[in-house]
């Protein structure tokens, strides 16, 4: 009788539902203070029961038991000195979840909310997202509880250098390849890459993605997550003979994902009418002006309220989320759990047609349920925002081959990858008896690929 959380694998005598329950019980007992990680594990495991029924070897091989435990977790101290000469200490994280399909791959997030639960949920999701792209990349995530907001350029650089002084020994083009995420953009990637180069004495292009295009970065990587999410919407609508033309799109966030989702929506004939930050949102019925938004958020690093102050016809709403604005398509692109059941009800009442998650896990489980039962097309982040990491893999290919592809070529490749990701999720949903359910489809297709590779490579 196992009495404590155990490492014992489920056996072939268990049904798939029993085996999932056992693994969930163990994960809950072992990680009681990690709500986001548990949410992500529940979402995946609860949707893949039909895959386990069709593949009893996955149960016998203890695939779930192994997958929920990261291959390696690195926690470290990041000491640095601020501009006033005061010592600061932050926490650094890198959770290397799975390298079965390729080197660990996933972004770094610098945000005060970062803790082990957040990094583990992101790393866990990354395994399946990366598998779904069809490329050779494993799953990882990292970051720090460092708050870049209000920090000087020199402070950001010193922090990045201290962070890399520890992390470098765990990275490498064949080992672990980070990229950006919230709070880590072109500037931070430059400082992190520079410090890696200094301490290793290696200019190893393929050890980081999201680099500047002048020094090994790939065209379209900056735009890829936002563009990809909009391409994914086009794919979902296309199944029903619809397009984005003349649709109103609601977008949250004002970072890299939101900015380029707004841009691509406009290029495809839609009007993106909202953007937000943690203090509130702006609504602009004429369509968000991407150049103005970029100037305010990327150059001046100011608040979103500035947008309404400078743009005639735009309105700023303090302390609220953009989901009260009537739209046909919603692309939540800010952060986890930013769209809840009340938001979903408001969007549905206003005639919403489709949702694509630009951020990771922005929709709560209750909100997903509401969308799906109302017949709203719902593209989960593992599929809808896979364009970013997929283009990171294109950057790795270019680095390995010492090549540079043009913007148009790279965008065409991204578009084809998003069509493939959509097809893989769509077909898996049909195969497992849940047509149109992209949550089941994305999780099943990603999981199948990872599970087959794990079985082939033995008990590791």
Residues flagged as binding site for NAD(+): 225, 256
Cα–Cα distance, 115 to 138 (Å, whole number): 21
Task: Decide: is 253 part of the binding site for ligand GLU (CB under 6 A).
Answer: no
Q: Which residue is nearest to ligand GLU (CB)?
A: 107
382 an active-site residue?
no
Query: In 10 A of CB 406, how many CB atoms?
Result: 10
Task: Decide: is 209 part of the binding site for ligand GLU (CB under 6 A).
Answer: yes
Which range binds ligand GLU by CB under 6 A, 59-67, 212-220, 384-392, 444-452?
Answer: 384-392
What is the distance of C-alpha 311 from the center of its chain?
31
Give how many residues touch ligand GLU by CB under 6 A.
10
| Closer residue to ligand GLU, CB minimum distance, 61 or 92 | 92
Which residue from 61, 70, 92, 107 is in contact with ligand GLU, where contact means CB under 6 A? 107
Cα–Cα distance, 106 to 225 (Å, whole number): 13
Task: Identify which of 275, 153, 294 has the alpha carbon closest to the alpha carbon of residue 223.
Answer: 294
Question: Where are the alpha helices (H) located in 169-295, listed in sequence order?
Answer: 186-200, 221-238, 256-267, 290-294
List strand residue ranges (DSSP E) for 304-449, in order.
Answer: 315-318, 329-331, 354-356, 377-379
Structural contact between residues 82 and 150, judged by C-beta atoms closer than 8 angstroms: no
At closest approach, how far in Å is the CB of 286 from ligand GLU?
31
Which residue from 131, 290, 293, 389 is in contact with ligand GLU, where contact means CB under 6 A? 389
Which residue from 106, 139, 216, 441 is in contact with ligand GLU, where contact means CB under 6 A? 106
Cα–Cα distance, 135 to 396 (Å, whole number): 11
Which range binds ligand GLU by CB under 6 A, 15-23, 38-46, 103-111, 428-436?
Answer: 103-111
Are β-strands 176-179 and 104-110 bridged in parallel, bridged antiparallel, or unpaired?
Answer: parallel
Which residue from 388, 432, 450, 451 is in contact with ligand GLU, where contact means CB under 6 A? 388
Task: Identify which of 358, 370, 385 has the alpha carbon closest to the alpha carbon of residue 442.
Answer: 385
Which residue from 114, 118, 132, 179 is in contact with ligand GLU, where contact means CB under 6 A? 179
| Closer residue to ligand GLU, CB minimum distance, 6 or 215 | 215
| Closer residue to ligand GLU, CB minimum distance, 165 or 391 | 391
Which range binds ligand GLU by CB under 6 A, 99-107, 236-244, 303-311, 331-339?
Answer: 99-107
Return the biggest CA–CA distance within the chain.
69
Positive or negative CA dihedral for 298, 299, 301, 302? negative
At closest approach, how far in Å is the CB of 359 from ligand GLU?
8
| Closer residue to ligand GLU, CB minimum distance, 193 or 316 | 193
At closest approach, how far in Å is the CB of 207 from ligand GLU?
12
Bridge partner list, 330? 250, 355
At closest approach, how far in Å is the CB of 220 from ligand GLU?
12
Task: Decide: is 105 part of the binding site for ligand GLU (CB under 6 A).
Answer: yes
Instruction: Describe the strand order of the beta sheet including 329-331 as a list of residue ranges.
Output: 271-272, 248-251, 329-331, 354-356, 377-379
Query: Which residues within the stretch 331-360 sit at the binding site for ligand GLU (CB under 6 A)?
Result: 360
Task: Decide: is 446 part of the binding site for ligand GLU (CB under 6 A).
Answer: no
Show the tokens assigned to 66.
Answer: 């192994």
Length of the chain: 460
- Which residues of this chain interact with ligand GLU, rule CB under 6 A? 105-107, 179, 181, 209, 360, 388-389, 392
Catalytic positions: 141
């Amino acid at each position: 009788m196992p009495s404590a959380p155990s490492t014992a694998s489920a056996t072939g005598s268990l049904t798939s539902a029993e085996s999932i329950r056992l693994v969930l019980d163990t994960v809950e007992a072992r990680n009681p203070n990690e709500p986001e990680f548990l949410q992500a594990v529940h979402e995946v495991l609860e949707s893949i029961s039909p895959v386990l029924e069709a593949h009893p070897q996955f149960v016998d091989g203890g695939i779930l038991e192994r997958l929920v435990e990261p291959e390696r977790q690195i926690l470290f101290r990041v000491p640095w000195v601020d501009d006033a000469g005061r010592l600061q200490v932050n926490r650094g994280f890198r959770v290397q979840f799975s390298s079965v399909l390729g080197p660990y791959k996933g972004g770094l997030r610098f945000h005060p909310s970062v803790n082990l639960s957040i990094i583990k949920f992101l790393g866990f999701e990354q395994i399946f997202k990366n598998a779904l792209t069809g490329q050779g990349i494993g799953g990882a995530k990292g970051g720090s509880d460092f708050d870049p907001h209000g920090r000087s350029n020199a402070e950001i650089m010193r922090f990045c250098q201290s962070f890399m002084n520890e992390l470098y020994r765990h990275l490498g083009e064949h080992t672990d390849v980070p990229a950006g995420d919230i709070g880590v953009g072109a500037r931070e990637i430059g400082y992190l890459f520079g410090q890696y180069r200094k301490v290793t004495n290696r200019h190893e292009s393929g050890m980081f993605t999201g680099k500047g295009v002048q020094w090994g970065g790939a065209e379209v990587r900056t735009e890829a997550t936002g563009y990809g999410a909009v391409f994914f919407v086009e794919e979902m609508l296309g199944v029903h003979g619809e397009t984005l033309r003349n649709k109103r799109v609601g977008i949250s966030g004002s970072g890299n994902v939101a900015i380029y989702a707004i841009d691509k929506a406009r290029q495809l004939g839609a009007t993106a009418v909202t953007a937000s930050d943690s203090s509130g949102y702006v609504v602009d019925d004429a369509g968000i002006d991407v150049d103005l938004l970029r100037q305010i958020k990327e150059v001046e690093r100011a608040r979103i309220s500035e947008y309404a102050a400078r743009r005639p016809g735009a309105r700023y709403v303090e302390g609220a989320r953009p989901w009260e604005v009537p739209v046909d398509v919603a692309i939540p692109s800010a952060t986890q759990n930013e769209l809840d059941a009340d938001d979903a009800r408001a969007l549905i009442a206003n005639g919403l047609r489709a949702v694509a998650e630009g951020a990771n896990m922005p929709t709560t489980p209750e909100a997903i349920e509401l969308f799906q039962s109302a017949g709203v097309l719902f593209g989960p982040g593992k599929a809808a925002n896979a364009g970013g990491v997929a283009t990171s893999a294109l950057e790795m290919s270019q680095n390995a081959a010492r090549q540079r592809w043009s913007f148009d070529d790279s965008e065409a490749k991204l578009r084809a990858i998003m069509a493939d990701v959509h097809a893989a999720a769509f077909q898996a949903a049909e195969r497992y008896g849940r047509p149109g359910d992209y949550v089941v489809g994305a999780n099943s297709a990603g999981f199948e690929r990872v599970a087959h590779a794990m079985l082939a490579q033995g008990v590791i």
